[in-house]
Structure 1
Amino acid sequence: MTHPRRRMGTVAVAGVCLVLGVVIGLAVPRAASLVLPGSGEVRRADPGAAPPVGRNMFSPDIRNDEFVQQEQRKVVEMLERECAVTGRNCALARSARKALSGK
């Protein structure tokens, strides 16, 4: 059996680690939202450019990411095809199209 003081030290170290983790977790998103001087504006992709190869993983906003939107369109089209062919998931296909169009 462990000594009570040793157990108390372990609990204290665990508590300190927990508090540090919470502080770091709260600080990281705030630091990421700061704009660095000289960083300039975020450039949008040219609409006439080639389709994106993958998601821009450095972008904090996936809602406006071209790759994500392209993948969402594919899913909606698959749902609509399934509705047309089998007659299933038609309500889901309609709501998915509505949600995609409403962006």
Structure 2
Amino acid sequence: MSDAPGPRELLPRVVAFEVIAGLAMLAVSGVLADHAFQLWSRGKSFQSVELFGISICCLGGCFDPVNWMWICLPFTRNHITEPGRFAKAGWIIIGLGWLVFVVGMIGKYVHP
């Protein structure tokens, strides 16, 4: 017998939890974007870009909030639900946010 994990089990969707989690992620995204703008105003441009990338990732997570949170947590990786209607658009936005985050991180260390 091997210890390899089996296929992921799709759990049923709970719409009320998705709506609450999506709104919470939207609020977190707004708070992070506001903090990024404040960093930009203080002249910390690359830290601002890095934080804005994380904000975009949270915004993309609003489209499929349960799966995005479950995949990010190390102890719940196999507990995903059926993807929502706009899940692919959310993952594209998360990818864009990741790209912005990486640009900010590289810039922060190249131009201190």
Same fold (TM over 0.5): no
Shorter chain as denominator, the TM-score bin is 0.3 to 0.5
Structure 1 or 2: more strand by fraction: 2
Q: Larger relative CO (CA 8 A, sep 6+): 1 or 2?
A: 2
Structure 1 or 2: more helix by fraction: 2
> Normalization by structure 2: what TM-score?
0.31
Indicate the structure (1 or 2) with the bigger Cα radius of gyration. Answer: 1
